[in-house]
Structure 1
Amino acid sequence: MARVHAIHANGSLPRPILWQKLHKYLSLVKTELSPKVSNPSLPRDVPSPEALEQELVWMQDTLSQLGSPVVLCHNDLLCKNIIYDSTQDRVRFIDYEYTGYNYQAFDIGNHFNEFAGVKEVDYGLYPSKETQLQWLHSYLQAYKELTQGHPGDTRVSEEELETLYVQVNKFSLASHFLWACWGLIQDKYSTIDFNFLRYAKLRFKQYFKMKPVVTALQLPK
């Protein structure tokens, strides 16, 4: 992942696609799915469009202040999109449909969320803090080596590690929100045999469950 994130934008200043995509998805939910979303039988499972809009405003205001770098991101790095070639001992990513410049912490947080799976979602598989810190330490070492331009000191400080940990877990909320809205849209339009509405409900449920937990996390001073 560090190799993808280290690809330069040819001197331009890329803007994150996250907010544009979230506003687009939410607009579709509001205009195309409002009657379904507002169904009285789903008050706890699917928030109203008005509630979703409030959450998006809060997220954009909060997450954009965290200082996460904007880098080239895969944006959909679930396990099925990671291929390991044992003959060459190499890892490759596939399915670049959602690739674009985005927040570094979003791409990592989204990847951690995907540990839970898609068909049989189990958020008990979300990596522990210990596992995350080990992963993030290796990532930061690789990212530094790739972006410094020359071999140098790739030591990772405790502050750098804790900062990325907090950023990643806060941005994991945006991942839940995005794929939940995506699930609502797919439920109406997709012909794939998959329960997208159930998936959307699970992502919204996890978003609201984790919001107070990750909101309490503080960047090191």
Structure 2
Amino acid sequence: LHKLKPNTGDEAKPTLFIKIRQFLANFSAHYESKRKQERYDKFFKQREISFLHDLHRLRDIIQRRQSKVVFCHNDLLIHNIIHDDKTDSISFIDYEYADYNYQDFDIANHFCEYAGVEDFNYSRCPDKEYKREWITKYLIYYLERKPTKDEVDNLLDGNNIFEAAAHFFWALWALVQSQISTIDFDYLDYAVQRYELFQKCMLKCD
């Protein structure tokens, strides 16, 4: 998937900040439900959280990194990864969010998805050694050769800021869903959890 090239020959633009700005444009801090409003205000409003400030801070760090832009799935949670027992092969489904994006984001977001959704538990996410092994195997396929230590370290070093980006992305997505979705799921609580994880990751990036 990451080897696909743009048909136009032009440099592809990453969708990350385009989508984040769309989420911000589609979200209002005012809820029809009094209970939801109180919960939103208790966490976000009372802490004087500025999503635009967070966005600019995140963007500045990521732009300094100069991550490679490739065609990404952008939503590789467990339900979107299918294993065929007969052929021992893996395929992806649900390309709703697929677009050109930072290579680091697709990898870091996948690691975040180990936590699950319905029963979100970040302790399930892989440790540094697992990530190193995973990235090494990924690069063998992506580069079609054995990667150097520096190439592995480069992707591993970018993992924290892009995990922060993934948490911020899905926190804002969940806030939008908390206002428009009819699905029986506590999107507001999910947004709070992802935003708290975003803050923790950003502390390591300063």
Distance 2:172 2:40 in 1: 15
Which segment drifts farther, 79-88 or 8-17?
8-17
SS of residue matched to 2:100: strand
Name 1:5's counterpart in structure 2.
Answer: 2
SS of residue matched to 2:90: strand
**What CA deviation, in whole Å up to 9, does each residue of 1:26-77 have, x standing for no partner?**
1222xxx2234x9565456335786111000111111122121100000000
Superposition pairs of residues 19-30 of structure 1, within 5 angstroms: 19-29=17-27
Judged with a 3 Å threshold, the aligned counterparts in structure 2 of structure 1 residues 41 and 155 are, in CA distance, closer, same or farther, namely closer
Distance 2:120 2:188 in 1: 13
Name 1:149's counterpart in structure 2.
Answer: none
Name 2:13's counterpart in structure 1.
Answer: 15
Instruction: Report the AA paired with residue 15 of structure 1.
Output: K
Residue pair 1:184, 1:197 contacting (<8 A) in 2 also: yes
Work out the number of aligned pairs and report it: 200
**What CA deviation, in whole Å up to 9, does each residue of 1:90-135 have, x standing for no partner?**
1000000000000000001110000000011111111100000000
Residue pair 1:26, 1:49 contacting (<8 A) in 2 also: no
1:155 deviation in Å? Answer: 2.2
Superposition pairs of residues 52-71 of structure 1, within 5 angstroms: 52-71=51-70
Residue pair 1:34, 1:49 contacting (<8 A) in 2 also: no
1:7 deviation in Å? Answer: 1.1
Name 1:119's counterpart in structure 2.
Answer: 118
Distance 2:150 2:42 in 1: 39
SS of residue matched to 1:35: coil
Distance 2:98 2:127 in 1: 27
**What CA deviation, in whole Å up to 9, does each residue of 1:131-154 have, x standing for no partner?**
000000001111001xxxxxxxx1
Judged with a 3 Å threshold, the aligned counterparts in structure 2 of structure 1 residues 44 and 59 are, in CA distance, closer, same or farther, namely farther
Residue pair 2:114, 2:124 contacting (<8 A) in 1 also: yes
SS of residue matched to 2:126: coil
1:159 deviation in Å? Answer: 1.2
Q: Does the alignment pair 1:177 with 2:141?
A: no
SS of residue matched to 2:6: coil
Distance 2:56 2:131 in 1: 28
Name 2:179's counterpart in structure 1.
Answer: 188
**What CA deviation, in whole Å up to 9, does each residue of 1:189-209 have, x standing for no partner?**
011111111111110111112
Instruction: Report the AA paired with residue 2 of structure 2.
Output: H
Distance 2:125 2:160 in 1: 11
SS of residue matched to 1:208: helix
Note the aligned Cα RMSD (angstroms).
1.8
Residue pair 1:115, 1:127 contacting (<8 A) in 2 also: yes
SS of residue matched to 1:84: strand
Distance 1:177 1:80 in 2: 21
Q: Does the alignment pair 1:82 with 2:81?
A: yes
Name 2:194's counterpart in structure 1.
Answer: 203
SS of residue matched to 1:96: coil
Which segment drifts farther, 133-142 or 20-29?
20-29
